[in-house]
Structure 1
Amino acid sequence: MKKADPPASKPPELEALWSSWLVDLGWQPSEPQQQQLQQLYSLVMAGNRTQNLTRITDPIDFWEKHLWDSLRGLRLLGSWDEIQAQPWRGIDIGTGAGFPGIPAQIALPQAHFTLLDSSQRKIAFVQEVLQQLSLAQARAVAQRAEIWGQDPQERGSYDLALARAVAAAEICAEYCLPLLKVGGRAILYRGHWTEAEAQTLKRALSLLGGKLIHVEAFTTPHSHGMRHCLLLEKVAPTPACYPRPPGIPKRQPLGQDKRR
C-alpha cells in the first residue's frame, strides 16, 4: 500500500457532520476515534490509486456513505452504552475495503471482528489498514463465505454478523446464519426494500434457523438517500447442508421457490 496522505484539516462541513452524529446515531466518536476514522479515509484514498476500492472519494460523501452508513446499522442492537459494553465476536462478510467492519471495530473497541472477503488483494489492503490504525483486536481473512461457514472452528461461533452491499438478502442470510450462535444476530444493509423481498427472505430463514426481527427504514443525513437495515436472529441451529458449496447460493437463492 502506498503511504497515506497526511490527514487534511477537517472542513467546517465535516465538523458539523461529526456534531450531527450525536443526533442521527445517538453516538459521537471521541477525538481518538475521529482521528482513526479520518486516517481510514486517507488510507482508502491512498489504496484507491492502485485498487478499485471505492467510487466515493469526496470526504463528505465518504463520511456519510461509508462511515455513518456503516455505523447506523448497529443502532438495531440497542443503546450504544449496551452494545459498547459487549465483547461481541463479530464478522463482516464481504468486507471489501473494510466496510462496515472497520468503522464498527473503531466504534466497539470491546468487540473482536473478523473481516472476511474472497479477494486476496482487498484483504491484504485491509490487513495493512488494521495495522496502521492499531486495531489489533480485528483480523482480516481471505476466504469465501461458503467455505468459512463450513469451518468447524468458525461455524456457530459468532455473536454478530454484518453484510453490506454483498448480495440479495436471502443470499446474505445463507452466508451469515451458519456462522452465528443460536441467539446471535445479523444486520443486513439494504437500499430499497419491498414486501416481496421480505417474503423471499422469510422463506429462506425458515430453512436456515433464522427469523426476521425488524426492518428499519431511514434516510442518510446529508444526501437524504433511502436506506433499510434488517435485523435477523438465529433461533435454531442451521442444518449442516448450509451454506451450500461456493457459487450455489447466488445461482440458486433460497426462498425464491416455496418448494425449496
Structure 2
Amino acid sequence: MNNDSFAALLAAKGLTVDDRQLEQFNRYFQLLVEWNERMNLTGITERDAVYEKHFYDSVALSFVTDMSATSSLADIGSGAGFPSLPLKICFPHLKVTIVDSLNKRIQFLQHVAAELGLEGVTCVHGRAEDIARQKEHRDRYDLVTARAVARLAALNELCLPFARTGGLFAAMKGTDPAEELEEAGRSLRELKGKVRRIVPMQLPLEQSERHVILIDKLAATPRAYPRKAGTPVKQPLL
C-alpha cells in the first residue's frame, strides 16, 4: 500500500492527511519492522497488512468518536502503539498517555514518538491496576482506549478508572462482542460505566469484522477499584 492509496482510504471517511503525516506513518512502519526483529511487537509485518490492520484499524476509532472534542487520551496495554500513535499522527492536538507493563515496549514507543517528532506523548511503564491508583491518572482522561487486550468484564476494571466523569471508554474488538457484553454487566455497574452504543465496522480491503464498544463514564471510580494487579483478569467481576 503506497501513501496515495492509504490517504485515499482515509479520505473516503472524511479524514485528510498531509505529506508530513504520511511520512510519519512510513517511518513508523519502518521502525516497527526493524524493532520487531529483536523483540515481539507484532505478527504482522507486511506493509499492506500493517497499514490496514494496524494503522487504518487504529484510526478508525476517529470515525465513531469526535476527536476534535477530545484533548486527552489514555491507551491501556498499547503494545506497539495501537491505537494511540496512529491517532496522534492524524490528530496532533491529542495529549496521549500510553500504559504498558513491558518496559521493552515502552522503550520502543518512546523511540517512535521521538523519531516521528510527536509531542505530548507520555509512555508509562506499569500495570494498569497500579497506574490507575495514581492521582495524576485516575478519573482524568477524555477518552480511554484498549485494543484486543482482554475480555470486556476485565477490561472495564482496567480502563474505566482512567476515564473522567463524562468521559468515554472505547473498547476495540474483532468479531461480535455480544457474549462479552452479556457477561460484563456487573463490571459496568461497579465501575460506573454505561454502554452508549456498539459500532460494527469492516476493514476496507480485507473486509474482516471489527466492533467498537463505546462506554460512557457516569461517575468517579469507587475506591475499591481497580483491585490489585492481576485480579481483574484472573477473577473478573461476573
* TM-score normalized with structure 1 length: 0.88
Structure 2: gaps (5+ residues): none
One-letter amino acid of the structure 2 residue matched with residue 132 of structure 1 = E
Q: Give the aligned residue type for 1:17.
A: F
The code of the aligned residue for 2:147 comes to: R
Gaps in structure 1 of 5+ consecutive residues: 1-9
Q: Distance in 2 between matches of 1:17 and 1:137?
A: 25
Q: 1 CA distance for matches of 2:176 and 2:34?
A: 34
Higher Cα Rg: structure 1 or 2? 1
Question: 1:202 touches 1:212 (CA, 8 Å); kept in 2?
Answer: no
Aligned with 2:128 (options 138, 145, 157):
145
Aligned to 1:6: none
Question: Does 2:18 align with 1:30?
Answer: yes
> Matched residue of 1:185: which SS?
strand
Residue 10 of structure 2 aligns with which residue?
21
CA shift for structure 1 position 124: 0.7
Q: CA RMSD in A?
A: 1.4
Which of 186, 189, 210 is equivalent to 2:172? 189
Q: Would you say 1:136 and 2:124 are equivalent positions?
A: no
Q: Is the 8 A contact 1:47 1:125 kept in 2?
A: yes
Matches within 5 A, 1:1-260: 11=2, 15-23=4-12, 25-78=13-66, 83-84=67-68, 86=69, 88-254=71-237, 256=238
Instruction: Calculate the TM-score normalised by the size of structure 2.
Output: 0.96
Q: Matched residue of 1:227: which SS?
A: strand
CA positional deviation for 1:131: 0.5
Q: Tell me: CA distance 1:189–1:151, structure 2 relative to 1, closer, same or farther (3 Å).
A: same
Contact 2:96 2:120 (8 Å CA) reproduced: yes
Q: What residue identity is the alignment partner of 2:30?
A: S
Supply the distance in 2 between the matched residues of 1:91 and 1:15 (Cα, whole angstroms).
30
Contact 1:175 1:243 in 2 (8 A): yes
Displacement of 1:49 in angstroms is 1.2
Deviation, 1:64, is 0.4
How far apart, in 2, do the equivalents of 1:177 and 1:93 lie? 10
What is the Cα deviation at residue 87 of structure 1? Answer: 5.5
Structure 2 Cα separation of the partners of residues 101 and 121 of structure 1: 17
Q: Is the 8 A contact 1:176 1:186 kept in 2?
A: yes
CA contact (8 A) 1:87 1:112 kept: no
Deviations 1:111-130 (A, max 9, x none): 10011100001101111111
Which residue identity lines up with residue 40 of structure 1 in the other structure? Y
Q: Distance in 1 between matches of 2:84 and 2:96?
A: 7
Percent identity, aligned pairs only?
A: 32
